[in-house]
Amino acid sequence: LYIRGETMSTIIYAHRGASKHAPENTMPAFELAYKHGADGIETDVQLTKDNIPVLIHDEQLNRTTNGTGFVKDFTYNELKQLDAGSWKSPHFTDTKIPRLDDLLAWNQGKQLKLNVELKNNIISYQGLEDIVCQKLNEYKMAKQTVISSFNHASITKVNDKNVNIDYALLTGRRNRTLIPYSKKIKAKGIHIGYRLLSNRLVTLANENKLYVAVYTVNSPITINKAIRLGCQALFTDVPKLAIDIKKRRFA
């Protein structure tokens, strides 16, 4: 799937959708990413009180909705009353918190790649791995999806389940065991913070048959570096900028 080298395209994932110009992790942000030609969408998933997987980054509702408190303390019916758009701009008033189902149903005709990040670092959501894998299978979207998490124990659980879905370790910190551990649990790749990006790490990972994806690159300098070093994927809030840069590099 992933071959290193400048002649091979770096996959462009819209980070939380096209989140610079639309409210992150909402359908308008996913729509805009699609319109701008992103290869894929990265999104964060958590569970409601009634175990519905919803797409939202923070454990609390305060920053990106007009609600307060923890996602886990509300049912989906309660959460769907909230406005997850107007914090960004009045243009997006009444945008809802989407369910994972909403994204998967929307993607049926589009077939974008997906990176579903399990947001179980602070809150431990029982059964999140199973629920996400089941949904991906139900919508026949397992093949184009990679699951990731900062919670490496959770990724190990995905491995234990023997599901036919790719998974990757996420980290923003230097960690000597990252590559051997990723190999051990049969991860397909590593998703690293930009600070960690180096030629050495990309080479080492690729030699170990692990792909490298880097987050979150929003400027021409950082996007160019990710492509130049041969990262197999990047995450950006501005997919249009990344696509334009990529086109220019390979023109």
**Minimum distance between the CB of residue 58 and ligand G3P, rounded to whole angstroms?**
9
Q: Is 24 in the site for Mg ion (CB under 5 A)?
A: no
Part in contact with Mg ion (CB under 5 A); list of ranges 101-109, 111-119, 199-207, 222-230: 111-119
Helix 152-160 vs helix 128-138: angle between axes, to the nearest 10 degrees? 50
The CA angle 103-106-111, to the nearest 5 degrees, is 95
Q: What does DSSP assign to residue 60?
A: B
Residues 6+ apart with CB under 8 A from 194: 214, 215, 216, 217, 222, 226
φ and ψ at residue 97, rounded to 5 degrees: -70, 120
* Of the candidate residues 10, 15, 34, 201, the single one contacting ligand G3P (CB under 6 A): 15
- Bridge partners (DSSP) of residue 51 are none
Using the minimum distance from each CB to ligand G3P, give the nearer residue, 59 or 78.
Answer: 59
* Of the candidate residues 99, 191, 225, 246, the single one contacting ligand G3P (CB under 6 A): 191
Q: Is 194 in the site for ligand G3P (CB under 6 A)?
A: no
- Residue 113 contact among ligand G3P, Mg ion, none, beta carbon within 5 to 8 Å by kind: none
Measured CA to CA, the distance from residue 195 to residue 251 in angstroms comes to 28
Q: Is 24 in the site for ligand G3P (CB under 6 A)?
A: no
Residues in contact with ligand G3P, shown as a per-residue x/- string from 90 to 119 under the rule CB under 6 A? ---------------------------x--
